[in-house]
């Protein structure tokens, strides 16, 4: 009986085969970081980390866009959402992310008009249907969400929808990789790159990173076979002293990526310094609106009070996001911090490492 595509990439037989090949290939300890939080969840869901030999340590990276959205951005969102003339829109995950003292869910409970949308174009539609209101979209995410956000700005401009704006908070993967590898306490030897990001941006930008830091980078997907194949390719590079970018997700990713989407991103956005929650400012790691589209920037449209919010002293999310700690290293994990009462974003997000450890009951070794 032939297997469907989804069954093939979740095949227990292929998974065991690849795990065995990894055990045969490895001769010394290696630390491999999966950048994407979706990959972290898949690894824990399918128990892939428990199939690997003890020489391989998987480090969970900062690739959860909800988790790295800065506390300052959350506080700006809360200020804007409380304005009486505003309909504030966002992807669903962001509503439960804690600010200094509140989140967007609590803002809605207090009377703010906060709505979940599935696309920024839904927010543009709301603006067209509610001309007496200002509709703001919380523009978070890595490169995967940016084309649709750029399209929403261009659509609003083309149709003269002047009561739509975005709160820009998008972040970029390559600068984060630079920051991790340049850190004095870095322990990452190689990366698994996120297939959905590379489907948009390609992987040509990663080639200089691999060569400069002598760190292999392998693009991979999200199924068990995808991930173990990516780990095997990474281990083979490390063991042989090669440091290049390889593509283990060729069914969805090319080196060049989606050129049309990249052109649209360049038209609307430009690189800016960005604050990452728990990490700090990473130069040119975010996207801001180009001057031509400044009218669509909610930060310029609304007068906001500048704040310096503080994280919970119990939360070590920043160390988890940098790969310097696991959720089990946090004394609040599973106690003061749970999905029902999260202290930090990694416990909230569907891609957060703390959420994954809690959901899949990963016990401390």
Question: Residue 114 pLDDT > 90, yes or no?
Answer: yes
Architecture of the domain delimited by 67-172+258-301 = 3-Layer(aba) Sandwich (3.40)
Give the residue extent of every domain in the chain. 5-64+175-247, 67-172+258-301, 317-359
* Strand residues in the chain grouped as ranges (E): 30-36, 56-63, 86-90, 113-116, 134-139, 164-168, 190-194, 217-220, 245-247, 269-276, 280-289
Distance CA(202)–CA(254), nearest Å, equals: 6
Is the pLDDT at 311 greater than 80, yes or no? no
Query: What is the reported pLDDT for 64?
Result: 86
**279/39 Cα distance (integer angstroms):** 20
pLDDT-based confidence at residue 111 (cuts at 50, 70, 90): very high
* Residues facing 59 on adjacent strands: 33
| Per-residue pLDDT at 1 | 40
Nearest to 248 by CA among 270, 289, 217: 217
Q: Give the angle subtended at the CA of 64 by the CAs of 59 and 67, to the nearest 5°.
A: 105
* Residue pLDDT, tens place only, 342-352: 888 888 887 88
For 91, 95, 170, 219, 221, the CA distances from 192, given in Å and listed in that order, are 26, 29, 21, 6, 9
Report the topology of domain 5-64+175-247: Rossmann fold (3.40.50)
Domains 5-64+175-247 and 67-172+258-301 fall in the same CATH topology:
yes
Q: Is 166's pLDDT higher than 60? A: yes
Under the banding of pLDDT at 50, 70 and 90, the label for residue 305 is: confident
Average the pLDDT over 318-340 and give the result. Answer: 87
Residue 244 backbone dihedrals phi, psi, to 5 degrees: -130, 175
pLDDT of residue 3 exceeding 70, the answer is no
CB atoms under 10 Å from CB of 191, counted, come to: 30
Is residue 179 pLDDT above 90, yes or no?
yes
Name residue, tokens 């959860």. 64
pLDDT at 210 exceeding the cut of 60: yes
pTM of the model: 0.91
In this structure, of 85-89, 96-100, 309-313, the range with the lowest mean pLDDT score is: 309-313
Average pLDDT over residues 215-236: 97
Q: Is the pLDDT reported for residue 363 higher than 80?
A: no
Q: Which residues pair with 57 in a beta bridge?
A: 31
């Amino acid at each position: 009986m032939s297997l469907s595509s989804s069954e093939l990439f979740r095949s227990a037989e292929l998974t065991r085969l690849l795990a065995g090949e990894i055990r045969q290939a490895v001769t010394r300890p290696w630390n491999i970081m999966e950048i994407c939080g979706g990959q972290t969840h898949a690894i824990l869901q399918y128990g892939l980390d428990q199939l690997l030999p003890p020489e391989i340590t998987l480090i969970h990276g900062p690739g959860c866009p909800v988790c790295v959205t800065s506390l300052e951005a959350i506080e700006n969102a809360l200020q804007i959402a409380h304005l009486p003339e505003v309909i504030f829109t966002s992807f669903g995950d962001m509503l439960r992310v804690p600010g200094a003292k509140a989140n967007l869910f609590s803002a809605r409970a207090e009377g703010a008009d906060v709505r979940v949308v599935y696309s920024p174009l839904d927010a543009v539609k709301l603006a067209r249907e509610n001309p007496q209101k200002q509709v703001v979209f919380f523009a978070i995410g890595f490169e995967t969400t940016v084309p649709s956000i750029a399209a929403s700005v261009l659509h609003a401009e083309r149709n003269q929808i002047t009561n739509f704006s975005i709160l820009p908070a998008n972040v970029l993967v390559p600068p984060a990789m630079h920051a991790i590898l340049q850190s004095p306490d870095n322990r990452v030897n190689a990366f698994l790159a996120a297939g959905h990001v590379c489907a948009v941006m390609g992987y040509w930008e990663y080639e200089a990173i691999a060569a400069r830091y002598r760190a292999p980078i392998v693009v991979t997907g999200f199924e068990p076979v995808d991930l173990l194949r990516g780990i095997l390719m990474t281990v083979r590079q490390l063991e042989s002293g090669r440091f290049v970018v390889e593509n283990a997700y060729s069914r969805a990713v090319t080196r060049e990526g989606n050129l049309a989407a990249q052109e649209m991103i360049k038209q609307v956005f430009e690189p800016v310094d960005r604050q990452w929650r728990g990490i700090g400012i990473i130069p040119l790691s975010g996207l801001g609106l180009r001057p031509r589209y400044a009218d669509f920037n909610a930060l310029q449209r609304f007068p906001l009070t500048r704040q310096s919010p503080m994280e919970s002293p119990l939360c070590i999310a920043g160390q988890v996001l940098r790969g310097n700690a696991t959720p089990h290293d946090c004394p609040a994990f599973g106690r003061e911090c749970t999905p029902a009462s999260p202290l930090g974003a990694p416990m909230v997000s569907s891609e957060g490492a703390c959420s994954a450890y809690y959901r899949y009951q990963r016990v401390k070794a």
